[in-house]
Structure 1
Amino acid sequence: MTAIAQRLSVWRRDSVLPGFGLTLGLTLTYLSLVILLPLSALIITTSGMGWQAFLDAAFTPRALAAYKLSFGAAFIAAGINAVAGVIVAWVLVRYSFPGKRLVDAIVDLPFALPTAVAGIALAAIYASNGWIGGPLSILGIKVAFTPLAVVLALLFEGLPFVVRTVEPVLQDLDPELEEASASLGAGRLQTMVRVILPSILPAVVTGFALAFARGLGEYGSVIFIAGNLPMVSEIAPLLIIIKLEQYDYTGATAIATVVLLAGFILLLVINVLQRWSRRHEHRT
């Protein structure tokens, strides 16, 4: 008990504002009511099925295809956004140009748009008679109603998470570090790889995790452009809705539990890696 009391006293001293016990209690209560209790109810409902019933409902061929598309598309889109988001954030932080504020506002547009509006816009553009989908269809490339359409929708929704996560870190990064690197004979590529990238890597990983989580649960913007074809372009969130409409609550709960657990494990692994990279950076 003495060690615990000493640890709590250290936490209290680290805080500038008073009221550690009250604020901690409010934090835990709020998180429990808003997040933990609903998720616990899902887990408890699933645990009452029995393992065989759970496996039969959660791992049907149709469900496996939906998992593969949801997780694969979310991972690919988050990876692409991790690269593109760093470039966009770099341009917004390091350069001044006409229309910069407009570009900065456009980055936040997916935050403001309802997902259904985004889905309709993407479908209108990438359909076989759309502005981009039409010329691509002439070349034999079909976008709408394919897994590629799912990736494009998730690219649209996930980009702001990476940009807004990396941008503050780049703003705090002293340009003198780049100048010092150049004065020591390092080229632009060496400066980027050895100086800038290690400094922003934790933020990039965080942005990737946020974009991945958003893509995993995205629904509105995807269903309008994906076509929702079973075993082809049907995502896991849509399959959950279909199960509920069919009054198959067991199947819906089982699929939701698989998505929840898999997403939580992946995000936990990413957070652990991010913490490890920060500790390694401080030691070096």
Structure 2
Amino acid sequence: MTLSQHTTTPTKRKKITVLPGFKLTLGYTVLYISILVLLPLSTLVWNTMQLSWADFWAVITDPRVVASYKVTFGTALIAAIINVIFGTMIAWVLVRYDFFGKKLIDGLVDLPFALPTAVAGIALTALYAPNGWIGQFLPFQVAFTPLGIIVALTFIGLPFVVRTVQPVLENVGAESEEASASLGANRLQTFTKVIFPELIPAILTGFTLAFSRALGEYGSVVFIAGNMPMKTEITPLMIMTKLEQYDYAGATAIAVVMLVASFVILLVMNTIQWLVSRKYTV
């Protein structure tokens, strides 16, 4: 009898899941996402189709609207970069060190999540206005300038970076640093070769979340921005202005531009994050 006669065709084993009901839960998931995400976005695109291409182009390329794009994307990008730098530092301090008041600071990080955005905007304006508690001592103006918008966006975006980086730092642990030091690496080499590669996916995620949140922020910005045309107007304010004028098609046209831009940004950032994760895991 040959070896081939003893060889049996392997049978496919059915994958057993701990919790049954995949089809049912998948159906609920698709229905839930469709109602909360896809249906509103489809309505947005449908309302925009009421405009002709010439009218649509005229709305989204209006000089005042274009200026709001520059303010919105520029300030959101700067605020996200600031949050990545200082948010990572805050997460490092909260994970690596024990000090008096640590739990209080850790709780304050989540304050922008719980605080209404309008309250945050009023508070920041009161602080950084020319006659405010902090603004009166500054040699430059913060409120009612693009710098004030950056301050507001940094405030509301900080928790996204801290809360995404913090768990990764906790998982890395001090053992990896000690092992690196025992092999002769200095502190800079340990951080750049051991710790930082582990943090890159989390940092990119935090940046994406903070940047995306900043793009659509309205309540905390509208007070401190001053809303000066061509200078400190943000795109969400332009959408609200169109709605107050009952120009629903114009408002949805600007919203579609923001939707497409946000989708492209998220796609690019997710692609970068996938490439980086693949690089350090292979």
- The interval holding the TM-score normalised by the smaller chain is over 0.9
Deviation at 1:14, TM superposition (A): 7.5
Which amino acid counterpart does residue 117 of structure 2 have in structure 1?
Answer: T
Higher radius of gyration, 1 or 2: 2
Q: Secondary structure of 1:243's partner?
A: helix
Deviation at 1:13, TM superposition (A): 3.0
Give the Cα–Cα distance (whole angstroms) in 2 for the partners of residues 239 and 231 of structure 1: 11
Q: Tell me the residue number matched to 1:52.
A: 54
More deviation in 44-53 or 143-152?
Answer: 44-53
Q: Does 1:168 align with 2:167?
A: yes
Give the Cα–Cα distance (whole angstroms) in 1 for the partners of residues 215 and 207 of structure 2: 12
Tell me the alpha carbon deviations over residues 175-202 of structure 1, each in whole angstroms, 9 at most, x when there is no partner. 2111111122222111111111100110
Residues 1-284 of structure 1 mapped to structure 2, 5 A cutoff: 13=15, 15-136=17-138, 139=139, 141-283=140-282
Give the Cα–Cα distance (whole angstroms) in 1 for the partners of residues 123 and 196 of structure 2: 35
Deviation at 1:263, TM superposition (A): 0.8
More deviation in 234-243 or 13-22?
Answer: 13-22
Which amino acid counterpart does residue 118 of structure 2 have in structure 1?
Answer: A
Which amino acid counterpart does residue 34 of structure 1 have in structure 2?
Answer: L
Q: Secondary structure of 2:68's partner?
A: helix
The answer on whether the counterparts of 2:91 and 2:166 sit within 8 Å (CA) in structure 1 is yes
Q: Secondary structure of 1:233's partner?
A: coil
Which amino acid counterpart does residue 84 of structure 1 have in structure 2?
Answer: F
Deviation at 1:277, TM superposition (A): 1.3
The answer on whether the counterparts of 2:48 and 2:250 sit within 8 Å (CA) in structure 1 is no
For structure 2, which runs of at least 5 residues remain unmatched after alignment? 1-11
Which amino acid counterpart does residue 238 of structure 2 have in structure 1?
Answer: L
Give the Cα–Cα distance (whole angstroms) in 2 for the partners of residues 17 and 168 of structure 1: 27
Q: Determine what percentage of the aligned residue pairs are the same residue.
A: 59
Deviation at 1:16, TM superposition (A): 3.4
- Runs in 1 of length 4+ with deviation above 4 angstroms? none
Please state which structure has a larger fraction of its residues in helix.
Answer: 1
Tell me the alpha carbon deviations over residues 73-100 of structure 1, each in whole angstroms, 9 at most, x when there is no partner. 1111011101111111111111111111
Give the Cα–Cα distance (whole angstroms) in 2 for the partners of residues 95 and 22 of structure 1: 46
**CA separation of 1:215/1:14 partners in 2, compared to 1, >3 Å: closer, same or farther?**
farther
More deviation in 59-68 or 17-26?
Answer: 17-26
Name the TM-score, length of structure 1 as normaliser.
Answer: 0.92
**CA separation of 1:252/1:18 partners in 2, compared to 1, >3 Å: closer, same or farther?**
same
Tell me the alpha carbon deviations over residues 94-146 of structure 1, each in whole angstroms, 9 at most, x when there is no partner. 1111111100111000011000000010000000011211111xx2x111110
Number of aligned positions between the proteins: 271
The answer on whether the counterparts of 1:57 and 1:250 sit within 8 Å (CA) in structure 2 is no
Which amino acid counterpart does residue 85 of structure 2 have in structure 1?
Answer: V
Give the Cα–Cα distance (whole angstroms) in 1 for the partners of residues 35 and 211 of structure 2: 25
Which amino acid counterpart does residue 111 of structure 2 have in structure 1?
Answer: L
Give the Cα–Cα distance (whole angstroms) in 2 for the partners of residues 238 and 244 of structure 1: 10
Q: Secondary structure of 2:144's partner?
A: coil
The answer on whether the counterparts of 1:58 and 1:258 sit within 8 Å (CA) in structure 2 is yes
